[in-house]
Structure 1
Amino acid sequence: MMNSSNIIARSGIGFGTSGARGLVCDFTPDVCAAFALAFAHVVQQEGKVTTMALAIDNRPSSYQMAQAISAGLAQINIASKFYGVIPTPALAYYAMQHNMPCIMVTGSHIPFDRNGLKFYKAQGEITKADEVAILATNVPLSAITTLPELSVLPDAKDAYIRRNTEICKQDALVGKRIGIYEHSSAGRDIYNLILEAMGAEVISLGRSDEFVPIDTEAVSEEDKEKARAWVKGYKLDALFSTDGDGDRPLLSDEFGEWLRGDILGLLCSKILGIEALSTPVSCNTAIEKSNLFKHIERTKIGSPYVISEFDSLLSTFNSVAGFEANGGYLLASKIKLNGKIIQPLPTRDAILPAITLLSQLNQQSISEQVKLLPQRYTASDRIKDFARDKSLSLIANINKEPEAWLLKLDLPFKLAKVNDTDGFRMTFTDGEVVHLRPSGNAPELRCYAESNSQIKAEQLVKATLSAIQNL
C-alpha cells in the first residue's frame, strides 16, 4: 500500500498560481489518484463527500488523467460524474450549484507536454492553505492498474449555456458578425450557441485537432496577424477566443486588435456597475485612474489571492468582482444585467466579460468603449525555459540594488517607487512601469510593462527581456 504524500513528493509536481502543474510524463495514474485522494481527504474535513465532478480540456493526456482520478476516488467509495470537455468555469459553476467538489484536468495555456489539475470545493476554488493541506495529507492508496471508461454527462455544459443566455437580450447582437477563434479551446462547442442566442451571425475560425497553447497575456505575433486578417476578411464586428480551458478570454475590436485582459475586465466592471474590485498588482493603473470604483484591492498574481479578498469586500460593498491581467473575470456577488440576476461565480470566467462588452455593440463599438478609458497601455511577454530559482535569484539581486540594475537592464529611468508584492515592480518618475516575476505555472520569467503608448510598453518589455538574456 502506497501513500499520497510520498507519491506526490516524488513526482516533483507542485502548485502554481492556479492549480497543480507539471510535465505529462510526471502525471502518472498513481500521481493523479494521489492528488484526488488527498483533495478528497481535505474536503471531507468539512463534511462527507459521496460524489465528485470531473471535466477535462482538449489535451491528449487529459482523458487518461481523469480516468486515473476516477479510479482513485473509487478506492474510497466516491463516485465520479464526468462532464467531458467543457470550460473550467462551466464545471465550477455546475458543481457549486449542486454542492459538489470537483476537479478540472487542464494545463490551461501552457504547452501540451504539460498538464495540470484545478480543485474546487463545493463553495468554490480552493485556497493556498488548501493546497498546503493537499500536499501534506497522507492517504493510503493502491496502485492504479485499470482505467475505467467514463461516460459524458451533458448537464454542466447545458447549465453554463443557460447561465449566459438567460442574462442576454435575444436581439443584442442582431446584425453583428462575431468570429470565434476556436483552436483547441474547451469551450469551442459552446460559445457559438451563446452568441447565436444573442442574435449574432457567428463565423467559426481556426479549429485545430492539435492542442494550441494560447496565452492571453503573451499573444503571439501570429495570432495578432490572424485576428487582423480575419476581422478584415470576414467583416467582423469582433473576434472572440480563450485559452485552453476557457477561463481566460481574448476579445478583439472591430479592427482585429486584441484587448488586454485587464482593459476587458475594467470595461466589464464598468458596465456591470461593480463597486469594489480585487485585482493583482500587475493590472493596468487605468483601473484607479478611471475613478469608477469605490474600492480597489491590489493582490499577488493568481486567482486564489484575488478570491481571498472577496469576503472582506463583501462585508462592505454590495457588488464585488475581480479580474486578472489575463482577462479571467471572477464574480463575487449577485448582480443584475438586463433585469436578470447573475449568480456569483468566484473563479476565472472567459465568456461573461466578452458577452458584457458585446452586448453594447449597438450603442458603441469596442474601440469606442476603450477610448473612453484613461489611456494607459500595457504589454507582457516571457522568457521560456527560465528556471524558477534563477528568476527568484535575479529578482532578489535587482531588489538589493535597483538603481544599478536599471543600467544593466537598459532602463534609462529614475525610480519613483518599488513594489515587491509579487516579484519586483518598478514605477519610474515619468509613469513608466516594469514588473518582473517568475511564472507560477511554468519555468518562465514574465515581464509586464505599462506606459502612455502601446509601442512604448512593448518596447519596454522587449528591451528588458533582451537585456536579461544577454547578461
Structure 2
Amino acid sequence: MRVFGSSGVRGVVNDDLTPGDATDVAQAAGTVWRAGGVDRVAVARDTRRTGPMLVDSAASGLASVGVDIDRLGVVPTPGLQAYAEREGVPGLMVTASHNPPEYNGIKLVGADGVELPRERLEAIESRLLDEAPHRVGWDETGTSRSVDGAARAYVDELLAAVDREAVAEAELTVAVDPGHGAGAVTSPDFFRRLGCRVKTIHAQPDGHFPGRDPEPVESNLGDLRRFVHATDADLGVAHDGDADRAIFVDERGDHVEGGAALAALAADALDEGDTVVSAVNASQRLVDVVEAAGAELSLTPIGSTYIVSRIRDLLATGESVPVAGEGNGGVLFPGYRIARDGAYTAARFCELLARRGEPASALAARYDDYVNVRRDVAYDSERQREAMLDAIERAAEESVAELDTTDGYRLDYGDGWTLARPSGTEPVVRVYAEARSADRAEDLADRLHDAVSGIRVD
C-alpha cells in the first residue's frame, strides 16, 4: 500500500490496497480526528466495483475508534467536500479518481471541505505507521447512518454558485460524459437545471467502466467526440471517475487541450497582482496568460494535495488566488471552494461561452499555439523505478536545457520543455513535452522517453 501520495492512498485492490489497509487508514485518521474533538465523519465513494467493500472496511475502522459515520453513498468527491463543509465534519472518500477499474483508494477531507494539508496527513501517517490506533470499548463504538440527498444538495449549491441566467439564455446543448463514474449521479441533472439541453453518453454508473477508461484524456474520448458531432452539441464535458475534473470537446467534435481550457478560464478570472497556482508541468499557455494579466505564477509538485497546500499558504499571507489547477482538467476556484470540481469548472466554461457569444472552438483557438505530448513508461519493481530515475538524471545533466527539479526533471529549451517524473498514483514514469509544433514536442518527448523505455533490471 502506498501511503498518502500526491492524491491520497491508491493501489490495485487486494494487491496494493486491501480491506485491512482501508480499516487501518480509517482507524488512524479517526484517532487523530477524535483527538481533535471530532465524533462524526462523512464517508462516500465513486462507482468502482470495490467501493462498497472498502467503504464497509473504512466505516468499521472509524467505528472502532469511536467515530460515528454518515454514509453518503455514491457522490462525486466535490459532493463529499460540499457535505463536509456544510455539516462541519471531516470526510473520507473511497475513490481512485482517473485510475483504471482495478484500482481504488482513499482521500481525506477536512471539516472545511478541503483536502487535508500535508502536515495533517503526516500526523495521520505517523499514527498509521508508528502507533496503534486508539480503539474504544465496545459500548463506545461508533454507529452508521445512511444520508439521503447529498448529491441533490451538492447540485443545489452548484446552481447557487454560477450565473444560471446567463447560461440558460445562451441555450447551450451540452453532451455530458461521466465515464460511468460518480458524475453520472449529478452532472446530467446539474446541466439540465442550469438551463442546458443535455445529451448523455456513458452516463450509467458502472464500476467496470465499460464505455471508456476513467481518465478523460484525448485517446479515451473518441466516443464523446463523435457523439458531440452527431448531436450538434455546443460542448462536450468529460469527467474522471470521481468527477473532480472536466475536459472539453468543442462543437466540431475536436478535443480541447486541458492547458488551453485552463488558460481560457484563468484569463477570464485574473486581474493584475493576482497569483495563479499550478504544477510544474504547467503549459506555456498559462504562463503567457499570467504574464499578459500582470499576475504571478506559483508552481508546485504535481498533485492536488500540493496545489491545495500552496493556495492555503498564499491566502494566509493575503495573496489573491482566483484560479488554480492543472492542465488535466483539475481546476480550482478558491473563491468558490479550495477544491477541484469538474461540474463547477464546466459551468464556468459555459458561462464564458455564454458571455463571449462564440463557439468553444473559437475560444480554444486563442490558446492553440502549443502542442502537448504525454507518454507513460511502466515499471515492475522499485529497483527498475530507481534505475529509470537514474537514467533520467543522467540525460538531464547531459542536456543543454535549463533544469528544474521541483518535481522530477523539467528541461526548458526556450522553444519548448519536457518533464519526466514518477507518477504518484500508478507504477509508471510519466514523460511530458510541449512545443509550438508537433514534431518538436515529439522530439523533446523522445529524448527522455528513450532514456527510460529500455531500462531493465535482473
Q: How much has 1:82 moved relative to structure 2?
A: 0.9
Structure 2 counterpart of 1:257, one-letter code: D
Q: How much has 1:383 moved relative to structure 2?
A: 2.1
Residues 1:346 and 2:338 are matched in the alignment: yes
Residues 1:36 and 2:35 are matched in the alignment: no
- Quick one: structure 1 residues 129 and 387, their matched pair in 2 at CA, closer, same or farther if it must change by over 3 Å? farther
1:451, 1:457 within 8 Å by CA — same for their partners in 2?
yes
| Aligned match of 1:281 | 280
- Quick one: structure 1 residues 99 and 307, their matched pair in 2 at CA, closer, same or farther if it must change by over 3 Å? same
Q: How much has 1:98 moved relative to structure 2?
A: 1.8
Structure 1 counterpart of 2:374, one-letter code: S
- Quick one: structure 1 residues 288 and 134, their matched pair in 2 at CA, closer, same or farther if it must change by over 3 Å? same
- Give 3-state SS (helix, strand or coil) of 2:164's partner: coil
| Aligned match of 1:69 | 58
- Quick one: structure 1 residues 165 and 301, their matched pair in 2 at CA, closer, same or farther if it must change by over 3 Å? same
Distance 1:150 1:445 in 2: 40
Q: 2:393 aligns with which of 396, 399, 417?
A: 399
Q: How much has 1:435 moved relative to structure 2?
A: 0.6
Q: How much has 1:262 moved relative to structure 2?
A: 2.9
Segments of 4+ in structure 1 off by > 4 A? 148-152, 385-389
1:278, 1:321 within 8 Å by CA — same for their partners in 2?
yes
**Residue by residue, what CA displacement relative to the aligned partner does 1:298-351 show, whole Å, maximum 9, x if unpaired?**
11111121122223422333443310232212232x3xxxxxxxx3x2122112
Q: 1:18 aligns with which of 4, 7, 14?
A: 7
| Aligned match of 1:375 | 369
- Give 3-state SS (helix, strand or coil) of 1:74's partner: helix
Distance 2:78 2:199 in 1: 23
Distance 2:87 2:268 in 1: 29
2:20, 2:57 within 8 Å by CA — same for their partners in 1?
yes
1:262, 1:323 within 8 Å by CA — same for their partners in 2?
no
Structure 1 counterpart of 2:214, one-letter code: I
Residues 1:433 and 2:434 are matched in the alignment: no
Structure 2 counterpart of 1:200, one-letter code: C
Q: How much has 1:441 moved relative to structure 2?
A: 0.5
Distance 2:143 2:445 in 1: 47
Residues 133-282 of structure 1 correspond to what in structure 2 (within 5 A)?
Answer: 133-137=123-127, 138=131, 139-141=133-135, 152-166=146-160, 167-170=162-165, 172-173=167-168, 174-207=170-203, 209-212=206-209, 213-216=213-216, 218-220=217-219, 223-273=220-270, 275-282=274-281
2:323, 2:332 within 8 Å by CA — same for their partners in 1?
yes
Q: How much has 1:370 moved relative to structure 2?
A: 1.9
Structure 1 counterpart of 2:389, one-letter code: I
- Quick one: structure 1 residues 160 and 455, their matched pair in 2 at CA, closer, same or farther if it must change by over 3 Å? farther
- Quick one: structure 1 residues 426 and 94, their matched pair in 2 at CA, closer, same or farther if it must change by over 3 Å? same
- Give 3-state SS (helix, strand or coil) of 2:80's partner: helix
2:177, 2:203 within 8 Å by CA — same for their partners in 1?
yes
Q: How much has 1:468 moved relative to structure 2?
A: 3.3
2:178, 2:243 within 8 Å by CA — same for their partners in 1?
no
Structure 2 counterpart of 1:282, one-letter code: N
Q: How much has 1:29 moved relative to structure 2?
A: 3.3
Q: How much has 1:234 moved relative to structure 2?
A: 1.1
Q: 1:452 aligns with which of 425, 436, 444?
A: 436
| Aligned match of 2:304 | 303
Residues 1:125 and 2:115 are matched in the alignment: yes
1:43, 1:121 within 8 Å by CA — same for their partners in 2?
no
Superposition RMSD on alpha carbons, in Å?
Answer: 2.6
- Give 3-state SS (helix, strand or coil) of 1:36's partner: helix
Q: How much has 1:444 moved relative to structure 2?
A: 0.8
% same residue: 24
Q: 1:359 aligns with which of 348, 351, 357?
A: 351
Structure 2 counterpart of 1:444, one-letter code: V
> What is the aligned length?
432
Distance 2:385 2:19 in 1: 31
- Quick one: structure 1 residues 470 and 177, their matched pair in 2 at CA, closer, same or farther if it must change by over 3 Å? same
- Give 3-state SS (helix, strand or coil) of 1:199's partner: coil
- Quick one: structure 1 residues 83 and 365, their matched pair in 2 at CA, closer, same or farther if it must change by over 3 Å? same
2:377, 2:428 within 8 Å by CA — same for their partners in 1?
yes
Distance 2:29 2:214 in 1: 28
Residues 1:108 and 2:97 are matched in the alignment: yes
| Aligned match of 2:139 | none
1:180, 1:241 within 8 Å by CA — same for their partners in 2?
yes
Structure 1's unaligned 5+ residue stretches are 1-11, 143-147, 335-342, 407-414
- Quick one: structure 1 residues 13 and 467, their matched pair in 2 at CA, closer, same or farther if it must change by over 3 Å? closer
- Quick one: structure 1 residues 260 and 118, their matched pair in 2 at CA, closer, same or farther if it must change by over 3 Å? same
More moved, 192-201 vs 110-119:
192-201
1:179, 1:236 within 8 Å by CA — same for their partners in 2?
yes
Distance 2:4 2:237 in 1: 29
Distance 2:24 2:198 in 1: 43
Distance 2:146 2:87 in 1: 17
| Aligned match of 1:337 | none
Q: How much has 1:257 moved relative to structure 2?
A: 2.2
